Structure 1
Amino acid sequence: MSAPAVSFEFFPPKTLDQSFRLWETARALAPLGPDFVSVTYGAGGTTRQLTHEAVTALAGHYGLNVAAHLTCVDATRDETMAIVEAYADAGVTEIVALRGDAPQGADRFEAHPQGFASSVELIAAIAARGGFTIRCGAYPEPHPDSPDGHADVTWLKRKVDAGASGAITQFFFDADTFFRFRDACAAAGITAPIRPGILPIQGWAGAKRFAARCGTSVPGWAEAAFAAAGPQGERALARDLAITLCQDLIAGGVDGLHFYTLNRPELTAEVCAALGVTAREAVAA
């Protein structure tokens, strides 16, 4: 079993302590040779400037290929495209284009009157500008705003047709969940690569909250396993489950994995090591 390509997701720091954690995470994972890393965009665009700063710093200091997240939330089309131009000026060539979640305090996403109404519109505008590799989001299980899984496949097809060259999925617990989605996408004529998103579980309670927000189902076997492991065994269980999930995906033909690091590198690094992803070169301070 050959080692997969890997990519990592970070979030922009809001405090000095978070800044140190991000840079230590980047320093720990950069030697693994990710083909790209992504930097998230806070709900409602709350970390817009911080995202830009983190993107430029990661590219400049660590030589990483950084894909900046960009959403449609709470901004006009002109404001959003100005951010695209700022990324281009900074040498960024990849964007993860998303609709985005509802702003804090809102029940659901509502487009800005002069903004992009969907990720499809945003992707089309970036593609028309040119100069960027565009990735998009994908949902192996129904998005909270979707009536069913078929709608998510249809939306992904529209995103790819609009100009996205690849997709990153929301996290999931069972490899078969991804394989069913991959098969449905292939049947719909989607040929762009779909990279599964992997969440090394840093804490079971937090993972369940995350799952509830994004529509990921929590299987009964996972509940039982973490209950049996208890606080002392939680980390070892999380490591073993992530390794097993990744190995099952690779055995099923997956050649690239995207890790949601939560700016904590240790578990991700351990999982990568178990998969044969090893350091390629030292990273300068």
Structure 2
Amino acid sequence: MSLLSHYNESRPAISFELFPPKTEEGMEVLCDNVRQLCEFKPSYFTCTYGAGGSTRGTTLSVLQRVREITNLPVASHLTCVGSTVAELESYLAEAVAQGVDYIVALRGDPPKGTDKFVAVEGGLNYANELVEVIQGKFSNLGIAVAGYPEVHQEAPDAKTDLENLKRKVDAGADIVVTQLFYDNIDYFRFRDRCVAAGINVPIVPGILPVTNFKQAQRIASMCKAGIPYDLEKAMNATDDPQSQFEIGVEHARQQTINLIENGVPGIHYYVLNKSDAAKALLDGIQMVG
């Protein structure tokens, strides 16, 4: 099933993002959570990897296990960081051989300790170049790229950021998955700007439930995502972990309901290898666009 076809269904497509665990015990916990998440009939799972490709092998192992458990399509993240074109093509060939269906094509963050991305000799500078490589030799792979409702932290302005996104889509991306956001207005504004710019692929919102406020603040600061005043106030009013969990889950639940009511093609959940928050927020929601 093609990546784009998931978003042509009457029901919004749900997908979940995982990351490679560091231990075998962590892998077993991940697999158990994947089984629980299948209750919500996801269309596919994705898996990230460590900085500089440090866990690419584990990423493929995770995706292989997920396919065995779910019999669903799987997507591997892939960045340009620290890799030549030949190395990227080698990974793509291995991914295809292991049954990976889709690629989330990213430039990637600058290596730790630096604040500017610099391609290695023989490497790539931008995600649109990675999309072109995939299209050139691995055209059967579906391709997702990232979009930034609140503007990429390195972009000088929103217009430039949108132009960069259009280059990725024009190079052959099937869908755009957004960075996390906590105010749906930011997503709707971004979606409208994409349409006005001629970006005519599904713009899939990415949601990360706030279950621990300090962690959410750290993650949001890394990607320059704003936390709404009411959510911040409610979270700051309690130190109780369970109360923070419930507040965050309810916020993500209301985000989800509002997004579905406003016709999103699907929702991508950053679940951090856990199922409890996703299960709580999705419980009882009718996925009807």
Q: Same fold (TM over 0.5)?
A: yes
Paired residue for 1:140?
Answer: 149
Paired residue for 2:107?
Answer: 99
Distance 1:249 1:220, change over 3 A: same
Q: Distance in 2 between matches of 1:276 and 1:269?
A: 13
Counterpart check, 1:28 vs 2:67: no
Alpha-carbon contact 2:181-2:206 (below 8 Å) kept: yes
Q: Distance in 2 between matches of 1:220 and 1:133?
A: 38
Secondary structure at the residue paired with 1:189? coil
Paired residue for 1:241?
Answer: 251
Paired residue for 2:169?
Answer: 160
Alpha-carbon contact 2:183-2:227 (below 8 Å) kept: no
Q: Distance in 1 between matches of 2:74 and 2:48?
A: 11
Pairing partner for 2:271 from 258, 261, 281: 261
Residue-by-residue CA offset, 1:80-137 (whole Å, 9 max, x unaligned): 1100001111122211101111222222321111111111000011011111110111
Q: Distance in 2 between matches of 1:111 and 1:275?
A: 44
Pairing partner for 2:15 from 7, 12, 20: 7
Distance 1:167 1:242, change over 3 A: same
Paired residue for 1:282?
Answer: none
With normalisation by structure 2, the TM-score equals 0.91
Q: Distance in 2 between matches of 1:227 and 1:99?
A: 35
Displacement of 1:3 after TM fit? 5.8
Displacement of 1:78 after TM fit? 0.2
Counterpart check, 1:62 vs 2:83: no
Secondary structure at the residue paired with 1:202? coil
Q: Distance in 2 between matches of 1:109 and 1:80?
A: 17
Counterpart check, 1:196 vs 2:196: no
Q: Distance in 2 between matches of 1:138 and 1:41?
A: 19
What is the root-mean-square deviation in Å for CA atoms of aligned residues? 1.5
Residue-by-residue CA offset, 1:202-225 (whole Å, 9 max, x unaligned): 211001100111121223222111
Q: Distance in 2 between matches of 1:14 and 1:198?
A: 24
The code of the aligned residue for 1:191 comes to N
Alpha-carbon contact 1:4-1:256 (below 8 Å) kept: yes
Q: Distance in 2 between matches of 1:100 and 1:128?
A: 21
Paired residue for 1:88?
Answer: 96
Alpha-carbon contact 1:202-1:238 (below 8 Å) kept: yes
Alpha-carbon contact 1:30-1:64 (below 8 Å) kept: no
Alpha-carbon contact 2:16-2:45 (below 8 Å) kept: yes
Alpha-carbon contact 1:44-1:104 (below 8 Å) kept: no
Q: Distance in 1 between matches of 2:179 and 2:120?
A: 25
Matched residues, number: 276
Displacement of 1:157 after TM fit? 0.7
Alpha-carbon contact 1:229-1:237 (below 8 Å) kept: no
Displacement of 1:263 after TM fit? 0.5
Paired residue for 1:79?
Answer: 87
Alpha-carbon contact 1:3-1:276 (below 8 Å) kept: no
Secondary structure at the residue paired with 1:134? strand
Paired residue for 2:160?
Answer: 151
Bigger Cα displacement from structure 2, 164-173 vs 265-274: 265-274
Paired residue for 2:27?
Answer: 19
Secondary structure at the residue paired with 1:274? coil
Alpha-carbon contact 1:72-1:117 (below 8 Å) kept: yes
Secondary structure at the residue paired with 2:283? helix
Residue-by-residue CA offset, 1:35-76 (whole Å, 9 max, x unaligned): 111001212212111111111221133212101101100011
Q: Distance in 1 between matches of 2:198 and 2:265?
A: 20
The code of the aligned residue for 1:120 comes to N
Displacement of 1:236 after TM fit? 1.1
With normalisation by structure 1, the TM-score equals 0.93
Alpha-carbon contact 2:202-2:265 (below 8 Å) kept: no
Q: Distance in 2 between matches of 1:207 and 1:230?
A: 14
Structure 2 unpaired stretches of 5+: 1-9
The code of the aligned residue for 1:234 comes to Q
Structure 1 unpaired stretches of 5+: 278-285
Q: Distance in 2 between matches of 1:114 and 1:139?
A: 28
Secondary structure at the residue paired with 1:230? coil
After superposing on structure 2, the runs of 4+ consecutive aligned residues of structure 1 that deviate more than 4 Å are: none
